[in-house]
Structure 1
Amino acid sequence: MKIAVITAFPPSKVTLNEYGYHLVKNFAKKDEVSEVVLLSDKTPGAKELDFENSHKVKVNECWSFNSYNNIMSISQAIREEKPDAVLINLQFMKFGDKKVPAALGLMIPMVLRTSGVPTVSLLHNILEQVDLESAGFTKNKVAQKIYNFIGTTLTRFVLKSDVVAVTISKYVDVLEKKYHCNNVKVIPHGTFDSIEEPSFELAPGPKQIMAFGKFGTYKKVEILIDAAIIMRKRTSEKIEVVVAGTDSPNTPGYLDSVQQKYKDVEGIHFTGYVEEKDVPRIFGDCTVVAFPYTSTTGSSGVLHQAGSYGKAVVMPDLGDLALLVEEEGYKGEFFDPESAESLAVAIEKIFNNDDHRKAIAIQNFKAASALSMDKITDMYMDTFKEIIRSKK
């Protein structure tokens, strides 16, 4: 089977690039896949095809972030490549952070469906579950209504796919109820790599609290640093904070402002963009992975990564994170997302009881291992086959 995957892909910094990498990597492993056509965004550097069977991947750089022409160029690439099935790795700001290119990009599933190509859209978040204000879109109530109307319209375009895959079962209920559709199914996010069982022992050196991602909208660093300051007053133990990642595209300059604000606080490390090869070290060195979120916008890739590296986590008891913990069997300490004291207490429960830390870490590894990316791509293969059969 010849599969096309429409996605951002490293060295691109566009959202979902890492997820795209692991999708393509795992499709290329399948014996029944003869070729993976990577329909990716254009990047100055070569695509990072540093995995087994990469010779089965054909790169076609056919779109650009914020381009008005993506819908045409992707359609043309599909006509040229003639894949048996297409998977679109999608969220609302996938093709641009400007309104028109973003909206045009979300019309691609509808265009592909009308051309007869079996199409699955993986929708990582749905607007119905996003708090527009805390996620950094807009505080204006009128603007929020406009966004919701536009979001509803764009969701209808995405639902023109043969199948829409979502990562949390609640999303199926929400979409079916609102849009009266019957082509939505759950395919979990999955864990990036089927790795060997990690060491659950503490890494040498000071205990580290690590947060990973793009910061500034609903991921805030201040509460994490404030929690560390509170903890340091209650212990002589050395504690470090690692902020691994970059600004969200919606909040340029955010991390610079945080660094300036806390420039006199020791033991705070900002890594900048984390290359794929450095991810295991970043997770391996930390004691706990923290989620300093004020809201959530979908299933958390960071939680799955924390699980795969056998890490304890502290997270806010809200939205999709709480759902994910319940559905997929993760464990952690919860905190009030508006209270640094609450976060400090949650971290202390893990720092001060190593048996408890290990128990959470082991459970999270088990949860992550149960849904490896290998199994997730099998689910997509089965979905492609069902669509192809239904069209005969």
Structure 2
Amino acid sequence: MSLQDTQPEVQFEASSVELSRSVVVPVYAEPPSTVVSLVDDLHSAGWHEVVVCADRPSLDMRETLDTLETESWTTVIASDTRRGKGGALIDGLDAADGDVVGYVDADGAIPVAELDRLYTVVENGGASVAVGSRDLDGDCRTSQTPVRQCLAKGYRSLARRVTNAPLEDFQCGAKAFRSEVWERVADQMSETGFAFDTELIARVHHNGYEVEETSIDWDDPGDSSVSPVSDVPDMFWSLYRIRESIRGPTATRSSDDDTPSVALVTSHPPTRGHLAEYGEELARAYGRRDDIDVTVLAQRSDTAPPVEFRRGYEVRRVWDRDSFDGARALLDELLAGDYDAVQFNIHMTYFGDENVHRFIGLVLPPLLSRVYDIPVLTTMHDLIEVVEEDAVDEDIGLVEQVGARAATQMVLMGDASTVTSEEYKDIVADRYYASNVHHVPHGTFAYADGGLPNLPERFRVMVFGHLSPTKDIETVVEAFEEVRTSIPDAELVIAGGSHPGFPNHKETLEAKFGDRPGVEFLGYVEDDEMDAVWENASLVVMPYRTCTGVSGVFQLAKSYGTAVISADVDGMRTSTVETGGSAEFYTAGDPSSLADELRTLHADRERLQRLAQANSEAASSYTISDTAARMADLIKEQVTA
């Protein structure tokens, strides 16, 4: 089982040189012969350093320790007082000087060969932290009493909730990690008893390290030193201490009391669509600031952990779309999380495909603001008023229109709202009588090419973004086929997966047009593929049938310095060029009009270059960092009001 994180500063590659190994053996009341046998086996198996940490050693054990200490590869740290397992391990790990460090229980229950497997995982770059597990295969504990099995199961369940690490075994006494990992978390460790193992997992997980759980052979010694009477109650109580410490100021919050802690309610990758990509960019921009602490509250995902630590911000996946329980879980987190303010990054269909779930989700901003007195900033990305009247009448019934306007009015009952266009601000002020509404531009994203215009030799036309009936791909394909009669090597790249609201739309389009000469469907474009896809596009076509808000695709085109041709539908000029930048427009639904624009730009590369240059220059005028700065100011205004 692997818990994958994405924090760049703590990812390690497999080493091309031999890494030195140190292992700590905590000793308390084990027979001297058992300890000596284990230490010898570790040295024979290739460990460069064995650190023996003994608490209250007997006379026999002291003699054994004196003998062990004569070996150059053995370090002995003895204490006349009871430090506890965790206290002994902290001392031992602080003293260890190997490239890869770890520990193993002294009772011999874990064979050295099994510990070697854990160290190998770390040395090969498979994970920053490797933990042994007695529970992955489910049959190691059969020799334990039913009481101990029950206690272990209950503890595991609670530990998962506290640490958010999806492991099967937190307490196994065999773990290995890079020395840099221990240096990062050592000062944060506080548990000196048996809960040390669980706190260590919580800390490394919280700091963004990848943890791999590996099933190991374990020979139950039958005489566990963990007492159900004296130790077990404290272990369960320790989970509360760990939770409070992890969620407290030293773990996730700034020590500066003036820095507001903000919950950003937004979709976030690996979820696709529903503003997930924008939410990620906004969170990254917040994470680069030192005047605001952000926790993203995102949708649950089967492909990502419940808690993930990114550079500068935390992601907690706590709710689901189209779910009453999901809305309740989000509210519970907002009320329990001790946040100074909440920002909703939403559109009208954000919380579900069914109107009842949309409505319940959109009740949250005014509920938190008016009932619970939590400052709320809502960023609105769409308005029904900017949809073409014909499209409204055709696609949106009267009840839905009334509901959409009621939902907008409800969302505006928060403390403050932002919209991405000056025109949208005027609409909101005029039609909803809302006063505390601010125009904060969408912001452009920073990518590896620096936003420099790039015109590939081959004429490559691109359509980008989630595919749904709102994009007129049929007109684009027909226009492209006209273009290929005069530009036979032209290419049409359709980049994007199906919109979440239309799960199979991309597949339907690909079945219909995928075999046309020069047409290629790329599917969803991951972050690490973005540069190559955009840099190889001569221009991007935006074939929207209707427009409800500022176009994220146009902001990407500015970020990459790419020319744009857009369908000329109501609101599209506001959604594009009025936010800065340049575009050409064609008559919506008219393949010949689009084909003419494409041929003209292909023939006039200077004009194509000017369009690209205008977008590149506009990209730096208002970036996502500027957006985050303005929103942070608005949040702080509400917190201090």
TM-score (norm 1): 0.91
Larger deviation, residues 306-315 vs 94-103? 94-103
* Counterpart position of 1:299: 550
Cα distance in 2, alignment partners of residues 264 and 274 from structure 1: 20
Conserved? CA contact 1:134–1:218, under 8 Å: no
- Distance in 1 between the 2:329 and 2:307 partners? 23
Q: Given residue 221 of structure 1, which amino acid in structure 2 is its aligned partner?
A: I
Q: What is the correspondence of 1:1-392 to structure 2 with a 5 Å cutoff?
A: 1=259, 2-33=261-292, 35-46=293-304, 54-114=310-370, 115-131=372-388, 134=391, 139=394, 144-193=397-446, 197-204=450-457, 206-236=458-488, 238-390=489-641
Alignment partners' CA distance in 2, 1:324 and 1:14: 18
Quote the Cα distance in structure 1 between the aligned partners of 2:582 and 2:391. 25
Deviations 1:209-228 (A, max 9, x none): 11111222211211111111
Letter in 1 for 2:394: K
The structure-2 alpha-carbon separation of the partners of 1:260 and 1:292, relative to structure 1 and needing over 3 Å to count, comes to same
What amino acid does structure 2 have at the position aligned with 1:113? S
Alignment RMSD (CA, Å): 2.2
The Cα offsets for residues 25-82 of structure 1, whole Å up to 9 and x where unpaired, read as 110100222x3211111011226999xx935423322211111123322221112221
Q: What amino acid is the match of 2:510? A: Q
One-letter code aligned to 1:6: V
Verify the 8 A CA contact 2:286 2:312 in the aligned structure 1. Answer: no
Structure 1 residue 187: deviation in Å?
A: 0.6
**1:160: Cα distance to partner?**
1.1
Range 162-171 or range 244-253, more displaced: 244-253
Q: Which has the larger radius of gyration?
A: 2
1:201–1:150 distance in 2 versus 1, CA, 3 Å? closer
- Give, in angstroms, the shift of residue 133 of structure 1: 6.8
1:194 deviates by 6.2
Greater relative contact order (Cα 8 A, min sep 6): structure 1 or 2? 1
Shift of 1:5: 0.5
Does the 8 A contact of 2:307 with 2:316 survive in 1?
A: no
> Do 1:194 and 1:374's aligned partners in 2 also have CA atoms closer than 8 Å?
no
Letter in 2 for 1:105: G
Identical pairs, percent: 26
Q: Is the 8 A contact 2:306 2:316 kept in 1?
A: no
Q: CA deviation at 1:14?
A: 4.1
Q: Any conservation in 1 of the 2:416–2:437 contact (CA below 8 Å)? A: yes
**Partner SS for 1:93:** coil
Contact preservation (8 Å) 1:227, 1:340? yes
Relative distance call for 1:14 and 1:25 in structure 2 (3 A) is same
C-alpha distance in 1 between matches for 2:278 and 2:481: 34
Q: Contact between 1:299 and 1:324, CA under 8 Å: does it hold in 2?
A: yes
**Whole-Å Cα distance in 2 between the matches of residues 354 and 263 of structure 1?**
28
Shift of 1:253: 3.0
The alpha-carbon deviation at position 123 of structure 1 amounts to 0.5
Query: For the residues of structure 1 that align with 2:307 and 2:563, how far apart are their CA atoms?
Result: 31
Alignment partners' CA distance in 2, 1:250 and 1:139: 18
Q: CA deviation at 1:356?
A: 0.9
SS at match of 1:5: strand
Question: For 2:509 and 2:307, how far apart are their aligned partners in 1?
Answer: 35
1:343-383 Cα distance to aligned partner (Å, 9 max, x none): 11111222111111111101101112111111110000111
Unaligned runs of 5+ in 1: none
Q: Secondary structure at the match of 1:71?
A: helix
Q: How many residues align?
A: 381
